[in-house]
Chain A
């Protein structure tokens, strides 16, 4: 490997004659100083970009490199559509690829933003009888609920963004006690999913009054200082709200780089700030003491004002006067945090990491953060605008990134499984969705939705795996990649691809038709699963291997399909989304 050189060409380095594409991209800000700097030394990337014009990912069936893309006026090529959906959707089918290819990105986004949720997490539990009294102390229904939502809903963008938010705003079903935990999780996940296209400030409010978060980060039951015993407020939520959910540990420039002083990053808060902020999160309790039904889990937490700290509280320059009640203190604290200069780059960078690339350029972060700070209409925290900015940015949409050695991300194991399910239209006739808990690194995915080991999630945005040639790169998802999990994933997928999970079966009808022609089969899988990012050389090897499996019988065709999907999903060219 060569030394790290930024491989993120700015807008001006795009040399493909592709007016349609240009039209698709939302107006971006002028290049910042840092994004200009990032263009230095991209000559070789420029030539790669030329080779990639037309959206070809290397598949022999794509148009020759110099031919203009054959698409509708607003559209994009199927390869571009699949690549976009790999970033924007929790999973997608061939039909989704073709629809997006016709409509183009902005129209697709417009449509996704208006899709109503077909079923909330909570409603799944009720509809399937998990509110029966016998379930009060179980986690029955939890895994079916999350798989149903991720695999069974048509709102592809909301599912993807919701899941990205859960990667940051972590609550885990095993991480708190008490009754009706699946319902507590359902209400929490509904806050994330409902606000995915709303405003970040509303998300902060929704989470901060949610019982599951109150239980998980232990401020449900938190009480003001007691001078007699010396007890002090629990600092848990106050700390993690700042560290993980809003501003982070160090002061940030708008492009996400740390503010430095004397050669070291400037901390964004002190222990004194944490101790003061903890006073805000006192007085909370369940909405009602009645736990005979799960109802209280989706009501905002109630407050007991006598347990709320009423002395004057000051942190980060936010001054809450003595005597302020719980709601007032919360509003001032959240308003103050939301206005902090770190929020736009801190949140934008993590969303980019979850959707598009682990190592976004400062220019990319800065462009998205600017939209977070102001959507163009004076609104801060407009999630629709932020999502659009992330997904239409030139850095995300540059097809030549497929040839980069640094751009992109490792697909999360859960997203790989859901992608398979969506691609092959997995259904669960009785809503059992029996994929269960997929945490095991011995025989599952090493990751399971809503079951993170701590509030620090399965992986950290700053995780830097050993063995990368570039010492300044991070690779968050590598935190859950190791010798057992690499093999267990393949073993698990081998079984799931062939058998589904219980009643949840895939539909391979379209593949069975083309299975006798292994090249066609691979071309289809390469497009739908891998955005044509698996190179011709690897595809040729796969073809040779698949041709040893006769597809002349129905069983043979199925065998070939199973092997083909597994080879694709085990290939590094699939696993690293560029």
Chain B
């Protein structure tokens, strides 16, 4: 423990606030000493959440003549010309049945080398489910379904937490619950540089937020208006809590902010310089690249932070492309590809690419059938996992029949998922080190898939 931190704790402990045991004092014990563990078998999961519901059909674009004809007919002006896709056609090690082919949207071209190198896999028709569900079962309402389908906030929550808005914990946090004890500083297990997300909240693990440029120092940490006493009191108030449940929670957050600042900032100051460039954001409203750059930086000092298992959450917004899809969505994809590619390259540069698995997630897929200039809310979607440990250059899952009112959609090409988020999550969790017997604590419904075609481990990592 460095001197300033010790001094701060001493000062803070000397001030006892009205009300009994404050979280500020209580939490000192649980946060523990600065870490000394060595992260020889470090692993990290990185969830890249695309807020708004990413449009699957203009992300993984049908390319073979049969599928393309359907796509073009349903999409009208939104469709990429088939010729524009020739440069990004995926050539998987195992082709899809029936000659089906897909291309990445041209704006995702930066990811193609990762796919071709066998470090990126494509998930077909993954989405929120409670149990395996067919279209007929959906229509007959004869199986349990995720509540509030097609609602943004609820399906964001269901993807992240297996429960709609109001969920108490997410599966990233629940993974953290199981593995945080192996970290020198348990508080640094679940880290979010993009705000708050239920994904990273565990039953005991909490998420620690930083900005894309790192943690924030309290300006008055040494003194306020020249007064050490006032500065000390200010910190005690920020970390102090109180008898009201909201006060208590404010205090817990403030305590983490103040105490972890020194440790994290000091570690980050020792981060090795990397040469991989992160492009300026193609979407000026997105900080995704900066968030991933901070994630890479934190990973590069995992030894200093004593971290052996970390779960990160980053995000980009504006994917709710009801309108203006043809102009906005390509920008969002460029932004995504730039950030993912630079991040992947950085992990290669740091020599940790096989220890980091990155995966995409989103509220839901969208309809295949266009409205005038956009697409509306759907259900199943296409997603990517990438990293050195990924069993790449492959598709996983079952290729849906793309149609308006076909066997795999509930109308307008809103897909009934054939791969559950739970299966996606369980596969990632298993790679991360969660024992099979512990999977139900991470994804409670995973048992519903033990007899399904894809099973409980899809095998993409």
Contacts and interface: CB of A to CB of B under 8 A. Distances in A.
Interface of A: 1, 174, 177, 217-218, 221-223, 229-236, 239, 243, 249, 264-265, 267, 271, 274-275, 278, 358, 404-406, 408-410, 441-443, 453-454, 456, 460, 462-471, 473-475, 478-488, 490-491, 494, 535-538, 541-542, 544-546, 548-549, 559-560, 562-563, 566-567, 570-573, 575-576, 578
14 contacts: A222-B371, A234-B371, A236-B320, A264-B147, A410-B246, A466-B207, A468-B246, A478-B246, A484-B209, A484-B257, A537-B19, A548-B229, A560-B225, A570-B238
B410 A537 contact: no
B370 A483 contact: no
A356 B84 CA distance: 56
Contacts of A560: 225
B285 interface: yes
Interface in B290-346: 317, 320, 322-324
A487 B230 contact: no
Contact of B246 (A234, A548, A570, A576): A576
B230 A549 contact: yes
A406 B244 contact: yes
A249 B151 CA distance: 9
B230 A482 contact: no
B175 to A, nearest CB: 15
B227 A548 contact: yes
Given A221-B372, A405-B244, A405-B245, A541 B165 contact: no
Interface residues of B, number: 95
A571 B230 CA distance: 13
B209 A230 contact: no
Contacts of B374: 218, 234
B241 A549 contact: no
Closest 9 CB pairs of A and B: A537-B18, A218-B323, A482-B209, A483-B257, A572-B247, A236-B322, A466-B201, A559-B225, A563-B225
B218 A487 contact: yes
Given A249-B151, A563-B227, A454 B371 contact: no
Nearest to B210: A484
A233 B371 contact: yes
Contacts of A548: 227-230
A336 B51 CA distance: 31
Given A231-B372, A235-B376, A264-B147, 18 more contacts: A232-B412, A234-B374, A239-B150, A239-B151, A274-B150, A405-B243, A408-B246, A482-B253, A483-B257, A484-B209, A485-B209, A494-B219, A545-B227, A548-B229, A566-B234, A570-B234, A571-B237, A575-B246
Interface in B344-378: 367, 369-374, 376-377
Given A541-B17, A560-B225, A462 B166 contact: yes
Interface in B202-261: 202, 206-211, 213, 215-220, 224-230, 232-234, 236-238, 240-254, 256-258, 260-261
B195 A545 contact: no
Nearest to B370: A231
B373 to A, nearest CB: 7
A558 to B, nearest CB: 9
Interface string B157-184: 0000000011111000100000000000
A491 to B, nearest CB: 5
Interface of B: 15, 17-19, 51-52, 73-74, 76, 147-154, 165-169, 173, 192, 195-196, 198, 201-202, 206-211, 213, 215-220, 224-230, 232-234, 236-238, 240-254, 256-258, 260-261, 285, 317, 320, 322-324, 367, 369-374, 376-377, 404, 410-412, 414
B233 A230 contact: no
A465 B323 contact: no
B168 A471 contact: yes
B243 A231 contact: no
B176 to A, nearest CB: 12
B165 A460 contact: yes
A468 B245 contact: yes
A491 B219 contact: yes
B245 A482 contact: no
Contact of B166 (A174, A463, A535, A536): A463
A453 B224 CA distance: 33
B165 to A, nearest CB: 5
A478 B225 CA distance: 29
